[in-house]
Every structure is written in C-alpha cells, then in structure tokens.
C-alpha cells in the first residue's frame, strides 16, 4: 500500500487565516516563546492527546517537531511542547537531529510551499536515531495551512514508518469561515 499522508492529522485549535482571533494570537505568542501561551497550548494539546491516544499513541512513538523553513532551522516551541508531553505520554524524544532541513525550503526562498516534492528534497530523516522497538511517528507542528510541509515531512519517512505516522498540530489555518463546532467560533449570544 502506497501511503501519501499521515494516517491522522489532529489540530488543537483552528483559526481563519488573516484573522486576529484569540486562537491566532495564542499561536503567535506560543511561537514567540510566551510562557502563558505555552501553558494554554500545552493544556489544550494534552487534552487532545488524552482524547485521541487510542489513535495517536497506539505503540511506543517517537515525537519529532517539523523543522522551520530555513536550512538548520528548528521549531523550538514544538520541541519544548514535545519535551513536556513526553514526561506524561509514551513519547520518545531522540533529539532535534532526527528530522532536519538541509537547505532552505520554498517558503524561505519567497515562494509558497505549493509542491511537497520540492519540500522533500530539502529534508532528511535520520532513522539511526530511532530505537528499534519504536514503531510509530508523531509529527508535531505549530500551524498547518496548505499541508505541503507536513506532507513533505511524512514523505521523508522510511516506507515502513508511514503506515504508523500521525500528525499533531497546534492550529489549523482555515480559509474563510471556520467549520461548525470549531474552537474559533464565537460563543452564541
């Protein structure tokens, strides 16, 4: 079976792209390293993991932050989130060198990430850092918009890991109005 995307992509929040919603501001503050935003994001992500652990955490999982768009860039906010979550859940954290960007991605060069194939060429997965008993991978990112970067990270995984790969994102950026029931909707009056 040829798998092209993570089995499951779960978002803790969603917001309308270009909006100034509470969720969008929270994600910005989380990315900037705000301790208060980190605490709020951690609490929500923890709840999501508890709710979805039957899918996301079936086996011992290695958790890895999706790297930034520049060569060598790290996603420090997500690395900190993973570190904190690993203490409570069965997440192994082999370190920041597991999934790395070896050259600038399309977005760093000023063009949108429209092609996950172009993204794949800029990423490297270091399988030798994963313990042999670990079967699944949990990719963690701060925001998913088009999905091209996350898909590229997934495609870099060895074929035997793809069927056990899932993604957890802090927020999903939506075009237009948020879906019914999303956390971004205003409270009913």
The architecture (CATH level 2) of 9-174 comes to: 3-Layer(aba) Sandwich (3.40)
pLDDT computed for residue 119 by the predictor: 74
Q: Which residues pair with 144 in a beta bridge?
A: 172
CA angle 33, 99, 155 (to 5 degrees): 120
Domain boundaries, the chain: 9-174
pTM comes to 0.84
Residues of the chain where predicted confidence (pLDDT) is lower than 70: 1-5, 7, 58, 106-117, 176-189
pLDDT computed for residue 175 by the predictor: 80
Query: Which of helix, strand or coil describes residue 95?
Result: coil
CA dist 122 to 115, 116, 151, 155, 164, Å?
Answer: 12, 10, 13, 12, 23
């Amino acid at each position: 079976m040829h798998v092209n995307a993570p089995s499951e992509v779960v978002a803790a929040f969603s917001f309308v792209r270009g909006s100034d919603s509470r969720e969008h501001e929270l994600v910005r503050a989380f990315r900037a390293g705000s301790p208060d935003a980190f605490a709020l994001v951690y609490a929500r992500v923890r709840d999501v993991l508890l709710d979805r652990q039957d899918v996301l955490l079936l086996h011992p999982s290695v958790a890895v932050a999706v790297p930034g768009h520049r060569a060598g860039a790290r996603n420090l906010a997500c690395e900190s989130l993973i570190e904190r979550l690993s203490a409570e859940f069965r997440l192994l954290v082999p370190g920041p060198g597991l999934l790395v960007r070896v050259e600038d991605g399309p977005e760093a060069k000023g063009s949108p990430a429209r092609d996950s194939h172009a993204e794949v060429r800029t990423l490297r997965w270091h399988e030798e850092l994963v313990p042999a008993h670990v079967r699944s991978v949990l990719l963690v990112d701060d925001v998913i918009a088009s999905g091209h970067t996350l898909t590229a990270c997934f495609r870099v995984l060895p074929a035997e890991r793809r069927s056990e790969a899932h993604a957890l994102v802090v927020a999903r950026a939506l075009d237009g109005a948020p879906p019914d029931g999303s956390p971004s909707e205003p409270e009913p009056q």
